[in-house]
């Protein structure tokens, strides 16, 4: 896949994954320095937000918007993934009151490679493309957006519509009436 960075075509490295595929397990670093795995099957719906750098205006704005928008969903786990340095991200999270999402670092570019988001050249080399993924409780990708131009914002409304449907999804098991009609 390819995106543009300020109009310059830039290839992305990593696996190509599609809606309906199982979400890859990706190792990230939490702000306390411990390693964790995100993606795959989980007890709640997951929203993975790939952020090129919180040091830029568009990324910072997007992080704040998502932080505000996701607070309504108690059955959602939101991760904001960046490659910024851990000390900056800690300070950013504290200063901007990011409390409805977990800021994490893609230290080894594991997330970038497994989700096909690694910018391969130019001034953003080894950064993440701007993207969002929604993963249901079964570990399947149900929404994906990789923003074609890195300086543009994601489609917040489309993403949150899918999040709302996923967190409110009622699993259909057998009912007494179905059992009796067999």
**CATH code for the domain of 102:** 3.40.30.10
- Return the sign of the alpha-carbon dihedral for residues 48, 115, 94, 149: negative
pTM: 0.91
Percentage of residues in the chain with pLDDT exceeding 90? 89
- Residue 32's Cβ-count burial label (10 Å; 0-12, 13-18, 19+) is exposed
The answer to whether residues 28 and 153 touch, using CB atoms and an 8 Å cutoff, is: no
Does residue 147 form part of some domain?
Answer: yes
Helix 57-69 to helix 156-167 angle (10° resolution) is 30
* 178 within domain boundaries: no
How many domains in the chain?
A: 1
**pLDDT attached to residue 180:** 47
Q: Give domain status of residue 175, yes or no.
A: no
Domain that residue 15 falls in: 2-168
The answer to the question of residue 176 being in a domain is no
């Amino acid at each position: 896949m390819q995106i543009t960075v300020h109009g310059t075509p830039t290839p992305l490295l990593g696996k190509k994954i599609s809606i309906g595929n199982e979400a890859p397990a990706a190792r990230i670093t939490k702000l306390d320095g411990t390693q964790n795995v995100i993606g795959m099957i989980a007890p709640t719906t997951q929203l993975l937000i790939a952020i090129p750098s919180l040091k830029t205006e568009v990324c910072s704005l997007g992080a704040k918007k998502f932080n505000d928008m996701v607070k309504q969903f108690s059955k959602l786990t939101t991760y904001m993934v960046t490659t910024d340095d851990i000390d900056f991200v800690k300070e950013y999270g504290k200063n901007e009151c990011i409390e409805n999402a977990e800021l994490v670092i893609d230290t080894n570019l594991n997330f970038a490679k497994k989700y096909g988001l690694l910018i391969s050249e130019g001034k953003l080399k080894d950064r993440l493309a701007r993207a969002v993924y929604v993963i249901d409780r079964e570990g399947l990708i149900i929404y994906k957006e990789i923003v074609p131009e890195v300086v543009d914002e994601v489609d917040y409304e489309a993403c949150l519509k899918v999040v709302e449907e996923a967190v409110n999804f009622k699993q259909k098991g057998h009912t007494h009436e179905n059992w009796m009609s067999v």
